[in-house]
Amino acid sequence: MQTGWQYRGVAVLGSTLLVTAAVALANTPPIQLLLTAVPPLNNLQSTTLTNDDLLDQAAITVTITLVILWPLYKPRPRRILDTISLTQRRLFLTAAVLATIGYFDWSSRLPRTTLVGTVLLLGVALPLWFVSIRRQPNNSERAIIVGDNTELIERLYASVGMPILGLVAPSSVLAVEKQRHIADGGVTIDHSAGISHLGGLSRLDDVLIEHDIDTVLLAFEEPDRREFFGALSTCFEHGIQAKVHRDHADSVLVANATGGELVDTNIEPWDWQDYVVKRAFDIAFSVTGFICLTPVVALITVAVKLDSPGPLLYSQTRTAAFGETFTVYKFRSMVTDAESETGATISREDTGGTDPRVTRVGRILRRTHLDEIPQLWAVLTGDMSVVGPRPERPEIDTDIEANVDEWRSRWFVKPGLTGMAQINGVTGSQPAQKVRYDIQYIRKRSFWFDTKIVLRQLYNVFQDTVELVRRSP
């Protein structure tokens, strides 16, 4: 079985060669004459490119085609008709993009006859290529159980309707439960039983390849940040479907949750192009923000320094995607070492002056959200996004995780400056409501949806600023 990266490499290489060959062939006089002899293409003029121009236009065509074909590089089992349909849709989009470029920029265009010939040739060649290398759906699934929860291992083994080739689990699980029965008939989880111990979690990558596995059943005590997501990531890299028991569906993002004991996980809820657009928006937003807010930053710097002694910035550790951590910075809005002295933190909502730790300037910064300007640096470096689930402190995150099962679903996406929970006035003190908004965002996310959330957040900041000015003496 090819690994995920091997499949991607073969798919990209084959696509590159086919697109290059199609452009070169469509540029030849015989193909040009053949195309212009067929109505309604007979109105087009036969045009061929010279060597240098041909190389330039072939490079542009290959680049655009490879980017748009990206979903086909995911190593997923696909049926023939599904593969052909997806390829044709992506090829149609490629043709539209190339035609648009040619319309607006005559220096970077394929001649119309060459473009038509290239698309027609690729309309046959690319579907055949992706059908030939596709991973075929396997009607007789080859599955393994991966996890550390012996009770859940038992339930999965007893309830699933597919052959289980073996178990990938820490050696400690085997030591404790070596003689424990997993299913009716006295099947145990050691080498002498019907289900073999294939190795520890560190061998999962090798096991998937050696045994040609196409389904992984996850049976972890808790979907933690290292082993659980590590197993998910390995499955995704190999294009293997990972499933969880229905009782644990609230702990992960699922592709479907209808019928049966098992549900499919969805570790990558968005297409590659969506991530590119989102990242481009993040960079543009953060750079624009830094440039436009430079005078405001200068004023805040002076105000914070004059208001109270201490550093300009305040740093804090927050949780990131898949439960990792990163450091965020804010303009200091409290007295120095406020949290270490009191052993508590303060929420943004407490801006009425009841907490002596909040400085005079700090109350203004918190109310107007200007204390968060330095977080644009985290957006620019990629630790955060403009829109996404708001990151929590690790200790708070752990506490909420223990009480709200769906909370772990937030780990599938990068945290953000703002999100649906923020624009609807829901904070970390309302975790159940907050996670519902976060999951709703993950499901509906798009560039335009992000834009609406950002505009709504800017409007809220404007309202808070106006209200602050009205209340000031």
Indicate the average pLDDT of the chain: 77
Q: What is the mean pLDDT of residues 13-17?
A: 94
User: What pLDDT was estimated at residue 307?
Assistant: 87
Q: What does the domain layout of the chain look like in residue ranges?
A: 4-133, 143-265, 272-471
Distances (CA, A) of 191 to 174, 194, 199: 10, 8, 11
pTM (predicted TM-score)? 0.55
* 435 Cβ contact list (under 8 Å, min separation 6): 404, 406, 407, 409, 410
From the list 369, 348, 361, the residue with the least C-alpha distance to 464 is 369
Q: What are the backbone angles phi and psi of residue 389, rounded to the nearest 5°?
A: -60, 135
Q: What is the mean pLDDT of residues 345-356?
A: 52
The residue among 122 and 46 whose pLDDT is bigger is 122
Residues 77 and 214: beta-carbon distance below 8 Å? yes
Looking at the DSSP assignment, which residues form a beta bridge with residue 465? none
In angstroms, the CA 438 to CA 443 distance is 9
Highest mean pLDDT: which range of 192-206, 320-334, 369-383: 369-383
The residue among 436 and 290 whose pLDDT is bigger is 290
Poorest-pLDDT segment among 122-126, 417-421, 467-471: 467-471
Architecture of the structural domain at 143-265: 3-Layer(aba) Sandwich (3.40)
Looking at the DSSP assignment, which residues form a beta bridge with residue 134? none
In angstroms, the CA 215 to CA 239 distance is 10
